[in-house]
A and B are shown apart, each in its own frame.
Chain A
Amino acid sequence: MPKIKHPVRTPHIDMTPMVDLFSVLLIFLLLTASFRPQEATVITSPGSISEKTAQDKDIMTIIIGKDGKIFYNIDNGKDSTKHTRADVLVEMGKRYNIIFSKKEISDFGKLASFGMPMADFRKWLNATDSKVKEKLQTGIPMDSIDNQLGYWVRYSRLANPNAEVAIKGDGDAEYTVVKKVMDLLQDNKVNKFNLVTTLEKQEIALKDIPK
């Protein structure tokens, strides 16, 4: 009896279920992932035990750099039909007599934190080189003569009344600067702040109480 010839074939694994699962995962992650534009400066947040996560919508962030430079960021809010950032910029433009083009306004809507006086704002919006952009970030002025941060906060509050304030300070920033920012916010009737921190576990038990 002749032997039955088996066709020579490499072993084959059906990858379809795996691909299905991966596709679902990939689509889910793509949709949930929020695109984060480049931040203006690197911040090392101090640690705390707080486990409350920062909300990522309806929040205005005041960033205080190590060197005391102030940066600002506001998001577009939960309602995607509103353009909070664009509204705030237009109001700021009116205040400081700067007319922004439509393209500049829509560009600004997609950007993140910034920190420069209004005089340099158009230069920053139109700069294409990231090094030039970085050089323009000299911090938002907030002294009593030229309180631009105050106006940013005020117009942001008008454009989005639900926005909460977060202070994201570098651990080594001077307290005096932070105090100035808090005073400014309190002048604008903001009495509740979210201090951005990183989670740092601390163990504590009853026996730690001194006798």
Chain B
Amino acid sequence: MAELIVEEKGKKGGKRRPKKQSTRIDMTPMVDLMCLLITFFMLTTAFSKSKVMVITMPDKDQPNQPKTPQSEISAFRTLNILLTDKDVVFYYVGSDKKPLTPFTKTDFSKDGVRKVLLEKNKDLFTKIYEYRDKRITGKLVVADTTADNEIKKMKREDKAGPIVLIKADKNAKYKDIVNIIDEMAICNIASYAVVDISPLELDMIKNAPK
């Protein structure tokens, strides 16, 4: 306790003095309460913010726009990733009618789909990684927005990295799609899209070796 208030005992006889009382207020309970409230508010404000991942989908209804012709080179760059249940990921290069590589099964682990993506995206990944590394070590001092624009430019100018098409069947869960888009961000993939699965690909999943 901060202070004990000692009252003067009234003396009998003599001159009567006005009672001398301490004007101090005991603030301890108030401080206690404030401490509690501050802790409460600090905890609730700090943990309530959630993060978001932004994806932009291609505009659906543009019937007049001609589809980009699939040349040999772009078919070679196209990496199809198929998602199905139980964390299983399938991938192949090329189009569904003419796959260029065998239909391969992998998973979401570090040595799974990420390895595939990194191998395909080696050049761009190295470029962006080195750029970020320069910033972290202090060799390059630029503002955040400039750095973001620079990385965006690198991605736009990239002509060798894969074009990833993400497709999911009806057994896929929402977290699979989030995981795979997250992998795109981790591996700095320049171009990717979430598209519908074709019947041919559904058959591929069905006939895939277990």
Contact = CB atoms under 8 A, between A and B. Distances in A.
Contacts of B55: 192-193, 195
A54 B52 contact: yes
Contacts of B173: 171-175
A115 interface: no
Interface stretch (A17-25, A81-89, A99-107, A120-128): A17-25
B37 A48 contact: no
Interface stretch (A71-79, A129-137, A153-161, A196-204): A196-204
Contacts of B57: 182, 186, 191-193
Contacts of B24: 12
B35 A22 contact: yes
Interface residues of B, number: 58
B38 to A, nearest CB: 5
A199 B38 CA distance: 26
Given A22-B38, A29-B45, A196 B51 contact: yes
B175 A46 contact: yes
Contacts of B172: 174-175
A15 B170 contact: no
A10 B185 contact: no
Contacts of B163: none
B53 A52 contact: yes
Interface in A16-60: 16, 18-19, 22-23, 25-26, 29-30, 32-34, 36, 45-54, 56
Nearest to B49: A53
A187 interface: yes
Contacts of B6: 8-9
Considering residues A13, A18, A46, which has the most beta carbons from chain B within 10 angstroms of its beta carbon? A46
A173 B175 CA distance: 8
Contacts of B129: 205-206
A194 interface: yes
Interface string B1-34: 1111010000000000000000010011011001
Contact of B174 (A48, A50, A169, A199): A169
B182 A49 contact: yes
B13 to A, nearest CB: 23
A47 to B, nearest CB: 8
Given A174-B174, A175-B176, A208-B110, 12 more contacts: A19-B30, A19-B34, A29-B45, A46-B178, A48-B178, A50-B52, A50-B54, A169-B174, A175-B173, A192-B57, A196-B50, A197-B52
29 contacts: A12-B3, A15-B27, A22-B31, A25-B38, A29-B45, A30-B41, A32-B45, A46-B174, A46-B179, A49-B182, A50-B52, A52-B53, A53-B52, A172-B174, A173-B173, A173-B174, A174-B170, A175-B83, A175-B174, A179-B168, A182-B57, A187-B60, A191-B58, A192-B55, A193-B54, A194-B54, A195-B52, A197-B182, A208-B114
Interface of A: 8-10, 12-13, 15-16, 18-19, 22-23, 25-26, 29-30, 32-34, 36, 45-54, 56, 64, 166, 168-179, 182-183, 186-187, 191-199, 202, 204-206, 208-210
